[in-house]
Structure 1
Amino acid sequence: MNGDPFGGHPGGRDRARRRGQGELEAQVLAALHHSPGPATAAWVQDHLGGDLAYTTVMTILSRLHAKKAVTRERVGRSYVWTPAADEAGLAALRMRRVLDSESDRDAVLASFVSALSAQDEQLLRTLLERATGGPGAAESSGD
């Protein structure tokens, strides 16, 4: 054995089995965003390249549904799935998950803000003012 607890080799198909939950969720969401409409789990599995078991795709879809990242509708004996937010909303969801997973939120946010460009920093200030009804909130709404 090569020391890999999964018995596989680095790279190749075995790598797909070791993807993290967050990465799988992102891939499933991306597939749903590229679907022409509500999609079945089998469609998602097919469009992810087929290296995931159907049950894994269903588990990821169910977790995403519990997180309100996707909606589902029963059609016959199965469900069809739709992303609950656009790409920007999903990116924001991923950012919140990363932040929620860190023990020192203050440090993570401080590091994030300090790395922003001046333009992004100003945009963030404007968005925060709008969200809190702070100074300039009404006049900024036409940006």
Structure 2
Amino acid sequence: MRRLGELEARIMDRLWTWGRTATVREIVDDLNKERPTAYTTVLTVADILHGKGLLRREKQGRAWRYEPTRSRESYTAALMQDALGVSADRSSALAHFVGQISPTEQEALRQALRSLTGDQPE
């Protein structure tokens, strides 16, 4: 999975945060609070995200309503899986990753592993 470009990420961030479908007009209006972004540019990028399978859309009147096809967490996990896939030594790459995250994140990882394996904390 390819990492999102800047505008792709800004669009997806809004849709993930809102947790609902939205039109390009709604997205543009929100993006324009930060800096001017053309409607046609957002329309094009939303169409590209749809083509990549990251957004689904449904026609409402003359406009499309867009929503993510996967959660932010699912997208992030796919990026992590792809990044891990380029390593010849996945175990070492995982060890380096775990060594770079905070103790709180390490504990969250332990809890996630326990929930997947059904193990109880010692």
Q: TM-score range by the shorter chain?
A: 0.5 to 0.7
Q: Deviations over 1:64-105 (max 9, x none)?
A: 3345543322101221123445xxx41551453365257337
The answer to whether 1:118 aligns with 2:82 is no
TM-score (norm 2): 0.63
Distance change >3 Å, CA 67–CA 101, structure 1 → 2: farther
Q: Distance in 2 between matches of 1:26 and 1:129?
A: 31
| Superposed CA RMSD | 3.4
- Matched residue, 1:90: 72
The DSSP-based 3-state class of the residue aligned with 2:97 is: helix
Q: Distance in 1 between matches of 2:39 and 2:94?
A: 37
**Alignment equivalent of 1:48, drawn from 15, 27, 31:** 31
The DSSP-based 3-state class of the residue aligned with 1:93 is: helix
Question: Structure 1 runs of 4+ off > 6 angstroms?
Answer: none
Is contact 2:21–2:67 with CA below 8 Å preserved after alignment?
Answer: yes
Is contact 2:57–2:65 with CA below 8 Å preserved after alignment?
Answer: yes
Which sections of structure 2, spanning at least 5 residues, go unmatched? none
Q: Deviations over 1:5-55 (max 9, x none)?
A: xxxxxxxxxxxxxxx943222211233345595321122122211633333
Q: How many residues align?
A: 114
More moved, 122-131 vs 104-113: 104-113
Is contact 2:23–2:64 with CA below 8 Å preserved after alignment?
Answer: yes
Which sections of structure 1, spanning at least 5 residues, go unmatched? 1-19
The answer to whether 1:70 aligns with 2:52 is no
Rg comparison, structure with higher value: 1
Q: Deviations over 1:120-139 (max 9, x none)?
A: 223212312323xx251xx5
Q: Distance in 2 between matches of 1:58 and 1:51?
A: 14
Question: Percent sequence identity over matched residues?
Answer: 29
- Matched residue, 1:8: none
Give the structure, 1 or 2, with the largest relative contact order (CA under 8 Å, sep 6 or more): 2
TM-score (norm 1): 0.56
Is contact 2:16–2:72 with CA below 8 Å preserved after alignment?
Answer: no
